[in-house]
Each structure stands twice: as structure tokens, then as C-alpha cells.
Amino acid sequence: MPPINYSSTEQQLMLLSNLHSYLSDVRHNWEYFIKHGKIDRCYGLRNEVLRSWERTAAKNINPYEPIDAALIPEPSLKKRILENEELIAVASPFLEAFTATAVGPEFRIDLTDKDAVILKQFGHKKNFKNKGRFVIGSFCSEESIGTNAIGLAVVLKQPVQLIGPEHFNANLCYRTCATSPIFDGKGVLAGFINLAGNYETAHIHTLGISMALARGIELELKQKRLLNEKETTASYLKKIVDTIHEGVIATDNNGIIQIFNHASSTILGIPVEKALRKNIREVFDTNSTIMGKIDNHKRIIDKKMSFFYQNKRRTVKGSSFPLEGKENTNGGALTVFQEDDIFQPKRNATGFNAHFTFDDIKGKSKKFLATIQLAKKAAVIPSNILLYGESGTGKELFAQAIHNASNFSKGLFVGINCSAIPEDLIESELFGYEGGAFTGSRKEGRIGKFQWADGGTLFLDEINSMPLSMQPKLLRVLQNLSFTRIGGNTEIPFNARIIAASNTELWNEVKEKRFREDLFYRLDVVSIEIPPLRELDDIDELISYYCIKTTNRLNFNFKVSDKAKEILLQYSWPGNTRELKNVIERCAVIAFSRNSDCIDEEDLLSYRGIRNFLEGQNTTSKIDESFEPSKLDSLEKKHIQQTLSQMKGNITKTAERLGITRKTLYYKIKKYNLNPKSGN
């Protein structure tokens, strides 16, 4: 903001003190200038007014024509009003209050932008009757209407008051205007404020009032800018804090939580709105680690800490620092922490990922498509799901697809086969245990599948095989949404989607007293029955699909003879799609061993299931007795060798190409005495 020329301002005020004499001199000067276009001898006329007359005359503006201030187009006016929205919002309360209490009916106040376009007017309505003169949208520059206070203030960037004949246009010789520039919080010109009235009302204080109003608006603009900067800084800080993975909690000197980021909410299981702006003593129990440290102004450096919220404990690892206020007073505390490695599962843990989506589920049978549609609908709601289906129908495939299409997809997919774990171990497998909980337990303890699945999906396969002794404990978790590790006494929150699967009709298990009825109702919220392969009418397309998939995996092309396909279509497939996939791959390898690219009838007869099926239907065929299982090993060894060479010995890429785990690949390498580095 340029410094105000107070000497010029004082000169204006001095002239006002002897107004009658001054105006008489100005009128004489004006008449001479209009007649001759110049003034040889100036009678007390201010120099800045004379220079403005000269600029106006150079523009050939007629001093006797009616005032007709140029109006800018309506779209342009709307744009300017929008661009100056903050100026109008800040200035309006000042000017409305002032015109209501301190301005007589003869005065009007104009608010303009930096280019002298009137944005808004204040005062009595009778002062707005001069249509075509000074109205909202009028362009009040020297170029538009000649010498006037607003136009001259634009040129000088200084407060200006013009009275009567100081105006160039004769129609303004009975007006007085006092204009002051308004600068924003950064010192940039924002606009002008103009007090206009009859010249007989001109007063020594009018210009001072205009300047005072401008200063008041400037101070408010500055305060608003500082507030906006503070809010912007706070917004940036919040976004930064919310993007980091560590939990951050900051309290002020009164213990009010001022920062509680999303990571804190996730790690501690506390909604942000339950903690932010709350007193920390209202959120956490007194036995929480940080409570004593905050009260005693002591720091914690990279230590384990416990947070107790609603009688549930979360163990974390982090640091807490007291903050100093002014003059070494208590300024609050800052605590930064992360999940404890021992008791908190890693989000990208190996073995806990769902690889399949609904795009991987193949089938065009009307009955099967209806099942997929139901599963997609169920995926988007948080209800528990019970999958029914015979072995091999793809229950886990559906479970993974549901997980990936749900709001739980950011969490882990944790699967457990209830029939594969001994009864005496299933509880520790699900709940985990504290260190030293029982003989042979790890001293640091272990987290269970429930905790791994928190925020994700827990898949309980073959739930019908879960021991009766374990069922009430699972029921309690589903009812209370929390659990306790073996040997522990702290409730751990549990928030996960439960998908259970059964290969038998679970209600029959309930009737036979092998499954709890109350647990059944907890699990069987949404029932999805996956039809067996024999009930589908698109087996032909599934055969083609698995042939293509096997071709890509084994890296050689083959086809299925018409006779073999006929047998495949007749077979009942008790093992469902799992069995179909296995048979196609098995027979493809056998065909390859014969140097053939076609699976024929005899290849299928090497599979006992199909052979027994056909013999039962009295459609026996000659069996290729010459086939030796050792040929499969030779083919597998050769295929692994080729793939290792293609992947340049990279174990991970080779395992992915072969469709097996790294552990299985290492077993095969040892079995066939292969060298991964050379592929031989």
C-alpha cells in the first residue's frame, strides 16, 4: 500500500475551512479553462485538479453534456461482483451501519472495484434516482466522465475530495465527493469508497470519514486474510497428519484433544468424532500409559504403550512428548505411535490375500448366473454370509470374490479350515494367546485369526466341522464384537465380515444336535447355494475354458476329441469344477507324453473316476495299460526346467507362472535335483 500523501490531504482540509472564497476562485479558473483550454494564471486551484482537467480536455470530453457514466455490460458486471465478493462482504456491514446512523438523506456511498466500477451503493433511495449517472455498473474513470473524485483517486491512489466546480462537467458543479482507496491485507489496491452529496453539505470532516471507513474495511480484510491463512494452514496440517500411517494425538494445556488422525482411529478402534475436541480424560481410562505421563509432564521414547478405551486395551509402540507453552508453561502433549509388531497384524501379510474376483468366476448357466448375482448383491452389505456347496464347487473362490467387492476389501482375507485343525488347537488359532499362556507357547505371545481379520474378512471353511466346544466361543465373538486372547484379560475389538462355508446342509446338523441353533442364525443371514457342476447346462463351455487355462499354464496347445468331450459331458463330476480342472490337466499331460496334441478317450480312461463311471454304465473301453505314472514326473521335471530357464532362475516369477507356491517349487527343485540359477 503506497503511503498516503497527508500534505495533500491537509491542503484539501484547509481549503474547506474557507470554502466560499475557494469555490469562487475555482469557478473563475474553470470558466477560463473551458474557454481557453489552459490557465495562464491560477487562482488557488490545486495542482492535481488542474492536471486532471488537462487530461480530460485532451480526451475531448464536452463539459456541458449531461452526465452519462458508461455502464459496463451485465455479464461483465456479474463477473466483477463475483471477483470482489470478499470486498463486498467485508465492506457492506460497515457501510450499511454507517448510512443507517451517521449519514443524512442527502448523502450516498459508492463502493467500487480497483478500476472505478461501482459494485454496490448505500444510503437513502432518493439518491439512486439519477438513472444513467452513478449507478451500480457505472464506470467512473476520468476517461468516462472527466474529472471526478473516484477517477482522480484511481490516478493518484490517494484520498481525494472534490467540491462543486472542481469537477470538469458542469452538471456536477453542485456535488461534492470524498473518495478513499481500499487496500487488501497484502497492500494491493482492492477498490474505493466514495461519499457523495450536495456541495453545500461539504464538511471539513467528510474526507476524514471516508478515510476512516476505508481503514476500517482494510483492517477487516487483513483479519480475514490472516484467519483464512490460519484455516488453510490448519487444513494442510490436518491433511498431512491424516496421510501418515502413524497415529498422532495432540492435546492442549487443558487436555483437549486437538489432533486425532485417521491412523489413531484405525489403530485404537476409536471413531475420530468420539475423541477430537474431547478431554483426553473422558476418552481414555486412567490406567492408559499416557495419562500418567501427561499429568507428570514426562516423556516416553520408543516404548510400548497401552490405551484403554471402554475397558478394551490396545497395545502400541511409540513416543510421547510434553509441549511447552509461553514462558515455559504447560503447552499440552504430542503422542506418536504405531501398531505393535507382535500383537498387530501387518496389512500386507503373506497368505492373507484374496486373489480372485467375480471376473474369475466362469459360467453362463442361468442357475449359476443367479448365484453370482446374489453374491454380488450380498458383497456390498456387511451382513454375515453362509455359502453352501459340495466339495469343489468353488466356495472359497466365491468368498474371495465377495471380499474383493465389499467395503472390507482394504483389510485382509483370512481363511481357516475348521476341519483341518485339531480340537485342542483351534481356540488358540482363532483367538491367539498371551506370552506364557500355556506350556510350549511362544514367550512373546501370538495373535489369532480374529485379530488378523480385523477390518477385513474371516472365512470359516467347513464350519459344519467346528467342534461343539468351540461354537459358543465363536457365538460370543459375533454377539459382542470383541474377544480375549488365551491367557489375557483385555477385550479386543473385532470388526470383520464373517463368511462361513459348509459342504453339508447345516440345518440338518442343527437337527442332529451337532451344530448350535443360535450360532446357525448368526451365520445364516445371507444364504448362497452354489450349484454342483452336474446341474449346470454350460459344462461344454467350462471344458473349453479350462483347456485354455491349462494350455497357458503348461505352455503347449492341445484339444479334446469329440469322443472324449462326449464322455466329459456324460460324467457326473462328484468333485465338481475342481475335479474337472484336475482331469483336463492330467489328461493333457498324458497326451503330451504320447507326443499328441489331442486328449482322446483312452486318456480319460486312465482316470479311475471316469473309468468306474463308464463301467457302471456298461460302456467300457480298452484302458491304456502301458501308461506309467513315472512319465508324469518326467514331464513335470521338464516343464519346471523350461520355466526356470524362461524366468532366469527367479523363484517367485517361476512359481507364479507354474501356478504353485514358492514352498512347493522349492520342494520340486529338491525332488528333481534342479539348479534354479541355470534352470537345469
Tell the CATH topology of 358-531: Rossmann fold (3.40.50)
- First CA to last CA across the chain, in angstroms? 81
Counting Cβ atoms within 10 Å, is residue 136 exposed (0-12), middle (13-18) or buried (19+)? middle
The grid cell for 550 is: 491349462
149 neighbors 179 (Cβ within 8 angstroms) = yes
Domain 537-627 is found in CATH 2.60.120.260: no
Q: Is the pLDDT of residue 130 over 70?
A: no
Residue 134: pLDDT band with limits 50, 70, 90: confident
List, for residues 259-309, the tens digit of each pLDDT value: 898 888 888 888 889 999 999 989 988 888 877 766 667 788 888 888 888
Residue 171: pLDDT band with limits 50, 70, 90: confident
Neighbouring C-beta atoms of residue 20, cutoff 10 Å? 6
Tell the CATH topology of 244-339: Beta-Lactamase (3.30.450)
Percent of the chain with pLDDT over 90: 29
CA torsion through residues 604, 610, 611, 617, sign: negative
Length of the chain: 680
Q: Is the pLDDT of residue 403 over 90?
A: yes
Q: Is the pLDDT of residue 72 over 70?
A: yes
User: 380: closest CA among 415, 355, 343, 405?
Assistant: 405
Q: Is the pLDDT of residue 117 over 90?
A: yes
Using CA atoms, how far apart are residues 270 and 276, in angstroms rounded to an integer? Answer: 10
Using CA atoms, how far apart are residues 106 and 94, in angstroms rounded to an integer? Answer: 19
Give how far the C-alpha of residue 627 lies from the chain's centroid of Cα atoms, to the nearest Å.
60
Judge whether 244-339 and 537-627 match in fold.
no
- What would the 3-class secondary structure string for 466-480 be? CCCCCHHHHHHHHHH
pLDDT higher at 623 or 236: 236
Q: Is the pLDDT of residue 676 over 90?
A: no
Phi-psi region of 204 (alpha: psi -120 to 50; beta: other; left: phi over 0): alpha
pLDDT higher at 670 or 658: 670
CATH number of 6-225: 3.30.450.40
Q: Is the pLDDT of residue 650 over 90?
A: no
User: 90: closest CA among 185, 169, 159?
Assistant: 185
DSSP H helical segments within 102-205, as ranges?
Answer: 142-145, 149-156
Using CA atoms, how far apart are residues 290 and 123, in angstroms rounded to an integer? Answer: 61
Report the range of poorest mean pLDDT among 160-174, 546-560, 587-601, 662-676: 662-676
pTM of the model: 0.46
What average pLDDT does the structure give for the chain?
Answer: 83
What SS3 state is found at 313? strand
Using CA atoms, how far apart are residues 39 and 481, in angstroms rounded to an integer? Answer: 95
Give how far the C-alpha of residue 96 lies from the chain's centroid of Cα atoms, to the nearest Å.
43
Domain ranges for the chain:
6-225, 244-339, 358-531, 537-627
